[in-house]
């Protein structure tokens, strides 16, 4: 059976189509994304009508594609894009009016948990921290003895940091300092473990983009899914320098994230410095797969 999942995020709106099987497993058939940048449409805490229209236009495009592919089962969920605004109910209602889609707005804690459950399809961490840096929020899950010990969501993402602190495309030195200070303050307020782990784990588009850049720079196999803390530190410093090599790495590996990749890698580097001893593993699966398995197939959450 073919099932489609759409993740209505603050930076990207992603469509994934899966074959699902009776034994509870799945295979990804294809994935498509639109860099909608909904966080840029938030004014005084409200998602503007233009932002709601942008979401509807993208959803309609995906609906047309699914119709052509004869995929009938569709589930749509939203994260910080609709969760962290004051007109959530209005946005849900207008999207339903225009598309016939009832969006499931999930909590930050549930988003964090679903990210972990999705990552389990690619890895089985006994202990450590799993992070997911989105456009409008960052989720953290602490794992102990193969189980979720704690989970949390912070209103800090690559796109809302860019919108708040960066005046042009590339952050200036002073803006980088302000971003660094903001990330530090947010992590001070977070409930972080008071110890470091040999390995921490990342999911989501920002983490995968950083992985592609590191694999390219160090000439690793493109299927490599681990980088060291030292490599991350070196690449962070290189991207912040904004020299020709840095710009080439970004444009070659994640041109659609040219404005958000530096805020994103700064968050990852802060997490690495606080929580990781050796390296970071990036999973190819995340929140959408967690939603598919535990909200759709098994209906356990």
Q: Which of 105, 139, 173 is the last residue of a domain?
A: 105
| Residue 258 and residue 169 in one domain | yes
| Residue 62 and residue 118 in one domain | no
pLDDT above 80 for 64? yes
| Residue 91 and residue 115 in one domain | no
> Which residues on neighbouring strands pair with residue 132, listed in sequence order?
139, 203
CA 183 to chain centre: 17
| Residue 101 and residue 177 in one domain | no
What whole-number percentage of the chain has pLDDT above 70?
99
Nearest Cα residue to 260 out of 182, 137, 171: 171
pLDDT above 80 for 301? no
| Residue 198 and residue 86 in one domain | no
| Residue 127 and residue 78 in one domain | no
Give the separation between CA 125 and CA 199, rounded to whole angstroms.
9
What's the whole-number average pLDDT of the chain?
95
Confidence band of 291 (pLDDT split at 50, 70, 90): very high
In this prediction the pTM is 0.91
Q: Which of 56, 87, 105 is the last residue of a domain?
A: 105
Dihedral sign, Cα of residue 74, residue 80, residue 81, residue 87? positive
Domain assignment present for 97: yes
Domain assignment present for 101: yes
Give the separation between CA 34 and CA 292, rounded to whole angstroms.
20
| Residue 158 and residue 203 in one domain | yes
- Give the range of the structural domain holding residue 6, as residue numbers without chain letter: 2-105
| Residue 63 and residue 120 in one domain | no
Domain assignment present for 293: no
Domain assignment present for 232: yes
What CATH code is carried by the domain that includes residue 19? 3.30.420.40
Domain assignment present for 295: no
Q: Which of 105, 140, 160 is the last residue of a domain?
A: 105
| Residue 224 and residue 147 in one domain | yes
Domain assignment present for 237: yes
Confidence band of 122 (pLDDT split at 50, 70, 90): confident
Give the separation between CA 202 and CA 279, rounded to whole angstroms.
11
Q: Are strands 42-43 and 46-47 parallel, antiparallel or unpaired?
A: antiparallel
Dihedral sign, Cα of residue 44, residue 174, residue 133, residue 50? positive
| Residue 122 and residue 93 in one domain | no
Confidence band of 298 (pLDDT split at 50, 70, 90): confident
Domain assignment present for 288: no
Tokens matching residue 186: 């947010």
Nearest Cα residue to 211 out of 267, 263, 283, 140: 283
What CATH code is carried by the domain that includes residue 139? 3.30.420.150
If one counts the domains in the chain, the total is: 2
Among 20-24, 71-75, 200-204, whose mean pLDDT is lowest?
20-24
| Residue 277 and residue 128 in one domain | yes
Q: What's the rounded mean pLDDT across residues 214-232?
A: 97
Per-residue confidence (pLDDT) for residue 300, from 0 to 100: 66
| Residue 210 and residue 258 in one domain | yes
Domain assignment present for 290: no
């Amino acid at each position: 059976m073919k099932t489609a999942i759409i993740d209505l995020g603050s930076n990207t709106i992603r469509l994934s189509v899966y074959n699902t099987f009776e034994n509870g497993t799945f295979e990804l058939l294809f994935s498509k994304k639109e860099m909608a940048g909904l966080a840029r449409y938030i004014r005084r805490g409200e998602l503007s009508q233009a932002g709601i229209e942008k979401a509807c236009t993208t959803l309609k495009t995906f609906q047309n594609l699914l119709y052509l592919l004869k995929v009938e089962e569709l589930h749509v969920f939203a994260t910080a894009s609709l969760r962290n605004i004051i007109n959530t109910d209005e946005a849900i209602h207008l999207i339903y009016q225009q598309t016939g889609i009832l969006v499931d707005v999930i909590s930050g804690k549930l988003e964090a948990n679903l990210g972990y459950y999705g990552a389990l399809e690619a890895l089985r961490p006994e202990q450590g921290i799993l992070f997911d840096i989105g456009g409008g929020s960052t989720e953290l899950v602490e794992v102990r003895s193969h189980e979720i010990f704690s989970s949390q969501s912070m209103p800090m993402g690559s796109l809302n940091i860019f919108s708040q602190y960066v005046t042009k495309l590339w952050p200036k030195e002073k803006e980088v300092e302000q971003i660094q200070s903001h990330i530090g303050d947010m992590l001070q307020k977070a409930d972080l473990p008071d110890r470091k782990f040999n390995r921490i784990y990342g999911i989501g588009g920002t983490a995968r983009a950083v992985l592609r850049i590191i694999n390219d720079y160090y000439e690793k196999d493109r299927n490599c899914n681990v980088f060291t803390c030292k490599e991350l530190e070196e690449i962070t410093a290189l991207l912040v320098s904004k020299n020709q090599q840095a710009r080439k790495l970004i444009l070659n590996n994640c041109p659609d994230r040219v404005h958000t990749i530096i805020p994103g890698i700064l968050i990852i580097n802060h997490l690495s410095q606080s929580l990781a001893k050796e390296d970071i593993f990036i999973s190819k699966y995340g929140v959408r797969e967690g939603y598919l398995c535990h909200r759709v197939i098994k209906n356990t959450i």
